[in-house]
Every structure is written in C-alpha cells, then in structure tokens.
Structure 1
C-alpha cells in the first residue's frame, strides 16, 4: 500500500458482519487499532510486557467510510504518521480490499505520563524512529 510504511492484513470474520451483511462500523476502528499496534511494535513503544511509564494514548479518532467490507475479505490496513507535535501527533489509516479503499481514518495520539496523569513532550529518539520508518515509504514528516 503506497505511502503507508506499516501494513497488516486481517481477514473479515463472520462475527465482524452486522445485520446488513457488511462489515460493522465498529470493526473499522478495530482494524485501525491493529495497524496502530503493528506500527507501535515496529517503533518499539509497545510490548506485551506492558505500557511502561510513558506511552502514546488515543486522544481522538475518526473514520470516513468509503465502501462496504464483507465476510471473507482480506483487508489491508495501513498506518502512517501525518504530524509530530510537541506532546501529540497524528496518525492516519487506510483500509483496502483488493486494492480498493474502503475507509480512511485518523487518530490524535498524546504522549502520556502515567505517573503524573498528564501529557509529556514526545521524546526526540521516538520522533527520530518514526521519521526513519516514514522514510521507508518515501515520506518526510
């Protein structure tokens, strides 16, 4: 998926389908989350061992639905960063089935200190690693 340095594939399960026989709107956000977690794993800020004392948390998220998804579809889920700020950043998502976009979304992520209960500045090494990953897709942020 061009322009998205981290892409995961997920197969639409029967339980992902709603009464209208298409991908339920909630599942789009779950797919965004799968791509976000894959990106976080690549950056090195997510592990199964826990969140650490500071980490990125979702402050806001949105989705623009473009087409239906159906049972059995294989959905490509792409993630990329659009902006790196002082203590927050924006990540963008794209979902495709057979090369056709079915949704685009975004999330504002806040670097959060769990000890103080407040936002904290994004560490420069974190920003550098994100820029390195984005460069693989020919992107500069």
Structure 2
C-alpha cells in the first residue's frame, strides 16, 4: 500500500497485443481485473478476510485511455476506493507504463451472494478492510 493505494504490478502478455503492436483496448479490463483480484482475494485474505471470495460482481466499468502501451515490462496499477456505499463500492485505478500514466478507470463493485443469487450489503469487516484505501474528499 502506498499513500492509501493498493499497488500491483501486472505483466503484459503477447496475447494482450493488437494488430498495431499495442495492448488492445479490451485487454485493459483484464489488466485492471488482475490487480483488483489481487486486492480483494490476496490482499484481503492476508488481513484475515475471505468474504470477497464469496462473490463480487461488476455493475459498471469506465476507462480513459491516455496513451498506448507496448509489449514489455509489467505495468503498475494503483487502486483506491473512491466511493463506499452500503451495498457497493467504486474502485478507481491509474495504470502506469514505465512510470508514465497510460490509463485511468473506475469499476463499480457489488458484493454478491452467489449461492442465493442476489446482491448483499458490505459487512463491517469488509468496510474495515476498504477503509485505509478510501479516498477522503
């Protein structure tokens, strides 16, 4: 964690590339997903929290492309919680390639009970895990 952000390096794979030699626009979602999974599965589990593994669905994605990414070194993704509600939260991201901002994005995440097939509210333990990453306006 850096200044209230969860930071994760994601490798750029050859399969992420498009015909123009850049990371395909749709693959940005895959890069963001890998970082988000690291935060909510690995990071949360390291804090003794496993409930996110029981279900989170994405209600909305929003991406701004700032510059192309070429094949090479991993990209750095920094994430924080920009909105925290009773039954959803928004993850904001910045993706850096060689230290230069290449993309910004947001994902609205909804805790979900996969067994019963419906959204659920965030637990106190989940809110406590998200709190250090929550941006204060």
- Structure 2: how far apart are the matches of 1:24 and 1:51? 28
Say if 1:86 and 1:97 are closer, same or farther in 2 by CA, change over 3 A.
Answer: same
Tell whether 2:118 aligns with 1:118. Answer: yes
CA RMSD of aligned residues (A): 2.4
Match of 1:63 in 2: 63
- Once the two structures are superposed, residues 36-59 of structure 1 have per-residue CA deviations (whole angstroms, 9 ceiling, x without a partner) of 011102123569xx933xx32211
Say if 1:95 and 1:23 are closer, same or farther in 2 by CA, change over 3 A.
Answer: same
Match of 2:53 in 1: 51
Match of 2:96 in 1: 96
Q: TM-score, normalised by structure 2?
A: 0.84
* Structure 1 portions without partners, runs of 5+: none
| Conservation of the 8 A alpha-carbon contact between 1:6 and 1:38 | no
| Conservation of the 8 A alpha-carbon contact between 1:22 and 1:70 | yes
- Structure 2: how far apart are the matches of 1:4 and 1:17? 31
Look up the SS of the partner of 1:86 in the other structure. Answer: coil
Tell whether 2:80 aligns with 1:80. Answer: yes
- Structure 1: how far apart are the matches of 2:116 and 2:20? 45
- Structure 1: how far apart are the matches of 2:119 and 2:59? 11
- Structure 2: how far apart are the matches of 1:13 and 1:109? 26
- Once the two structures are superposed, residues 49-104 of structure 1 have per-residue CA deviations (whole angstroms, 9 ceiling, x without a partner) of x933xx32211112111000001133111211111101111001111012111101
* Structure 2 portions without partners, runs of 5+: none
